[in-house]
Amino acid sequence: MAANGTGAPGADGAARVVAALDAASVRRYTTGQVILDEITWSVRSGEHWALLGANGAGKTTVLRLIGALMHPTTGTVEVLGHRLGRVDMRELRAHIGLVSSAQKVPQDATAHTVVLTGHTGTVQPLWRRYDTEVRERAHALLAELEIKELADRPYGVCSGGQRARILVARALMADPSLLLLDEPFNALDLPSREDLIDAMHRLAVNRSGLATITVTHHLEELSPAIGHVLLLKEGRVLTSGPAAEVLNGACMTECFGRPIEVSRHQGRWLARSGRA
């Protein structure tokens, strides 16, 4: 893949578009069901987005499009300067970081080995592909996520929060310009959730060019680094923009179909039912 289109800032300092959907729709061929309906949206380098909506709103489908895991039925999707349908999807995926609790990971592999597999984008390690520099990079990423002590611990005996941070380190092995997180907080207890939020905030602060998109159901899971929000409702964009403009009671009530109150404290968001 050519070096251009990586989403890094240009010579003029302007942030480049790393992902763009233009009237992108997805329909299920067997039933004709509309999953996404003409989604138009763009993400620039250094931006941190939350993707919110009720179950079935289309959040994961949007992430699959941007992750080069599927094509739109109509419309266009461009990722890292390459239009889907005109690029080798496998090669493009190698430049996109993806974190999902559904990822297949060998339970007996050590944390360091799991991170190494991010270099080759494989489930099982390809040992001949990992030289000293690659192995040291995996250790450095574990340290960056503040879990270097887990290097030799089997993934299967790590806690949920530790596993989530191992998967983030794995996703960063390709040094991506774009990091996608599909419900990374799923089933985490409170301390583990906060550890992961802190880790994501540090990444945003220390990696100025990295763009992230986080799918979640709970505002409490958003780090203070989240600056933009896209609300989806029934496969359509309800609204999008700066978090301070989108995360309010009116927008959230319309999105989720029940009265919701939104508050903010020290950069963190909280949503609760407005019903007595």
**What does the pLDDT read at residue 2?**
41
**pTM for the whole structure:** 0.89
pLDDT tier at 14, thresholds 50, 70, 90: low
pLDDT tier at 29, thresholds 50, 70, 90: confident
Token pair for 54: 């009720």
Q: What's the pLDDT tens digit per position in 171-182?
A: 999 899 999 999
Q: What's the pLDDT tens digit per position in 60-83?
A: 999 999 999 999 999 999 999 999
Beta bridge partners of 148: none
Cβ neighbours of residue 12 under 8 Å, at least 6 residues apart?
none
Token pair for 256: 């989720």
Residue among 174, 228, 226 at smallest CA distance from 203: 226
Task: Report whether pLDDT(220) > 70.
Answer: yes
What is the C-alpha to C-alpha distance for residues 65 and 28, in angstroms, rounded to an integer? 14
pLDDT tier at 5, thresholds 50, 70, 90: very low
Residue 126: count of CB within 10 angstroms of its CB: 12
Percent of the chain with pLDDT over 90: 73
**What does the pLDDT read at residue 187?**
81
Q: What's the pLDDT tens digit per position in 117-168?
A: 999 888 898 998 999 999 999 999 999 999 999 999 999 999 989 999 999 9
**What does the pLDDT read at residue 125?**
86
Percent of the chain with pLDDT over 70: 94
